[in-house]
Structure 1
Amino acid sequence: MNIKISEKAGFCFGVKRAMGLAWRELCEEHDKQIYALGPLIHNKQAVEKYEERGLVTADDIEEIPSDVKMIIRSHGVSKSIYDRADEKELEVVDTTCPFVKKIHDIVKENYDKGKKIILIGDKNHPEVIGINGWCNNSAIIIKTIDEAKELELDPEVDYCSVAQTTMNLEVYGNMVDILKQKSDKIDFNNTICSSTKARQEAARELASEMDCMVVIGGKHSSNTQKLVGICKEVCPTFAIETRDDLDVEEIKKYENVGITAGASTPDWIIDDIIEYLKSL
């Protein structure tokens, strides 16, 4: 079996930064309990390591007691969360990805100018929920080309468009073309992060050279699922979280196996799967 790993696989800059900041907090000596508002990243195995170190994960800020430390994860949160944290006298450790923070700034600035926000992304994803919170939860949120086609825009209204950082680049481009036909008063901001673009392009290129692809990452990770979709367009693809998810008998049928991984996938999981594949 010939195994080749994508040049762009594993932790992106934002996730690596967030995980490093969180781990540093857990390793420091202090008398405050540390909570994370939502899972630090969409990788169960990595989150479990942090919880073993003492991190407590809460799904809602109201579950977090006053006067403790609260980590805001890399996905970012709405303005109302910061306001509530102040009210509860929480010490905030903000690990929001700088690329996401930039979108917050764009949205708030344009919303304050009176523009209507169009947000291209998954309305149920924490990053999108957080972004929407910087325009008083008033954004028009669309995820698919069909939704873009069905969208009706007011010709008298000024719009500002932003995108979830992990959007599929090709889908985003098609949606922008559709929106341009509906209004000439849209200020488009391509906020898909450079890491996502490079990761998707590298995955597509590798998939074209391989007999099959293995995509490693959390089942709830948006950027991982985008990679799965891209690779499936090119060749047979296995989507796994750990080596236990591998269909061994099926993957043995392939000689050239490509590997890529989502932005929330730690190196130790990737290395473990590579070593396992080599042992086959």
Structure 2
Amino acid sequence: MEIIIAEPIGYCYGVERALNITYEALKSKSDNIYTLGPIIHNPQVVKKLKDNGIKIIENLENVDIGTLIIRAHGIDPKKLERARKMGFKVIDATCPFVKKNQKRATQLVKEGYFLVVIGEKEHPEILGILANANGPFMVIENKSDYKKLPDVKRVGVITQTTQSMENFISVVSYLLEKHKEIKIFNTICDETIERQKSARNIANKVDLMLVVGGKNSANTKRLAEIGKSINENTYHIETSEEIIKKWLKGVKKVGISGGASTPKWLIDEAIKKIKKITSH
């Protein structure tokens, strides 16, 4: 049995930074350290943080004042200001690349462009970007959204940092045909592009492809979609417990890819489970 690992593996820079900030905050031994929503999209890592004392809240109501850590995906600046006024000690763990995206969106709105954001409408990164931009906008997830676009002459485009390059190119190509003036920023994170390229390359070479990461993780779901489009024997799992013996029947090569918020120990556990199953 040959196991091929898609590089890069483990946390991306933004996720690792957010987790380091969170664990540093835990050193204060405070009873009230919160994140507004999960700090990252990986249930197993978030559970470990909760076990260490991090409290996950969905709003600022009815909680004791303490330390509030802003998730890697960013936040509505009005919520940030409100937290500070309420007396929370705010620690911003927003990914620097997401911050850059927020600034690009704000810039486009100030320059008078109608903002088009390519991404998932309800994703926290998108919600944070739109709140920061504070102007006319539309979020495009796929081709079904095209007909909803208003008839405007000047369009400014950015994309969710974890989007696929294929969807980005598809949407931009459509916009170029329909609008006279377009300003485009390709704001897909470089590491996202590398993970997608690697997953695509390996999916072509193996009998079975496993994508490890949170089912709520946009970039992990994207890797699974890419794998599935190439290799029908692609499965998105969160933990090694989900690996089924029959998947490995007759399989000689297994590819493993991990999302940007997937810790290496979850990848290692998946490898261990595969070896255990195939050793009998």
Regarding TM over 0.5, the answer is yes
Q: Deviations over 1:161-207 (max 9, x none)?
A: 11000111111101100011111222111101001000000000011
Q: Does 1:49 align with 2:48?
A: yes
Matches for 1:43-82 after TM superposition, within 5 Å: 43-66=42-65, 68-82=66-80
Q: What residue in structure 2 maps to residue 183 of structure 1? A: 179
Q: Which moved more, 1:197-206 or 1:36-45?
A: 36-45
The alpha-carbon deviation at position 240 of structure 1 amounts to 0.5
Q: What residue in structure 2 maps to residue 154 of structure 1? A: 151
Matches for 1:244-255 after TM superposition, within 5 Å: 244-255=241-252
C-alpha distance in 2, partners of 1:31/1:38?
19
Q: Is the 8 A contact 2:115 2:135 kept in 1?
A: no
The alpha-carbon deviation at position 137 of structure 1 amounts to 6.5
Q: What residue in structure 2 maps to residue 25 of structure 1? A: 25
Matches for 1:24-173 after TM superposition, within 5 Å: 24-26=24-26, 28-31=27-30, 33-66=32-65, 68-136=66-134, 138-148=136-146, 150-156=147-153, 158-173=154-169
Q: Aligned-pair RMSD on alpha carbons? A: 1.5
Q: Does 1:231 align with 2:227?
A: yes
C-alpha distance in 1, partners of 2:63/2:99?
23
The alpha-carbon deviation at position 136 of structure 1 amounts to 2.5
C-alpha distance in 2, partners of 1:65/1:106?
35
The alpha-carbon deviation at position 146 of structure 1 amounts to 3.0
C-alpha distance in 1, partners of 2:258/2:76?
28
The alpha-carbon deviation at position 154 of structure 1 amounts to 2.8
Give the total of aligned pairs.
276
Residue in structure 2 matching 1:211, options 207, 214, 222: 207
Q: Does 1:196 align with 2:192?
A: yes
C-alpha distance in 2, partners of 1:123/1:58?
21
Q: TM-score, normalised by structure 2?
A: 0.94
Q: Secondary structure at the match of 2:170?
A: helix
Q: Deviations over 1:222-263 (max 9, x none)?
A: 000000000011111011100111111222331100000111
C-alpha distance in 2, partners of 1:179/1:186?
8
Q: Aligned residues: percent identity?
A: 36
Q: Is the 8 A contact 1:153 1:183 kept in 2?
A: no
Runs of 4+ in structure 1 off by over 6 angstroms are none
C-alpha distance in 1, partners of 2:140/2:184?
14
Structure 2: which amino acid aligns with 1:11?
Y
Structure 2: which amino acid aligns with 1:128?
I
Structure 2: which amino acid aligns with 1:139?
F
Q: Secondary structure at the match of 2:91?
A: strand
Q: Secondary structure at the match of 1:134?
A: helix
Q: What residue in structure 2 maps to residue 242 of structure 1? A: 239
Q: Is the 8 A contact 1:145 1:171 kept in 2?
A: no
Q: 1:247 to 1:136 in 2, by over 3 A?
A: same
Q: Which moved more, 1:34-43 or 1:57-66?
A: 57-66
The alpha-carbon deviation at position 80 of structure 1 amounts to 1.3
Q: TM-score, normalised by structure 1?
A: 0.94
Note the residue ranges of structure 2 that are not aligned, 5 or more in a row: none
Q: Secondary structure at the match of 1:114?
A: coil
Q: What residue in structure 1 maps to residue 273 of structure 2? A: 276
Note the residue ranges of structure 1 that are not aligned, 5 or more in a row: none
C-alpha distance in 2, partners of 1:133/1:126?
10
Structure 2: which amino acid aligns with 1:136?
N
Q: What residue in structure 2 maps to residue 267 of structure 1? A: 264
Q: Does 1:4 align with 2:10?
A: no
Q: Is the 8 A contact 2:109 2:136 kept in 1?
A: no
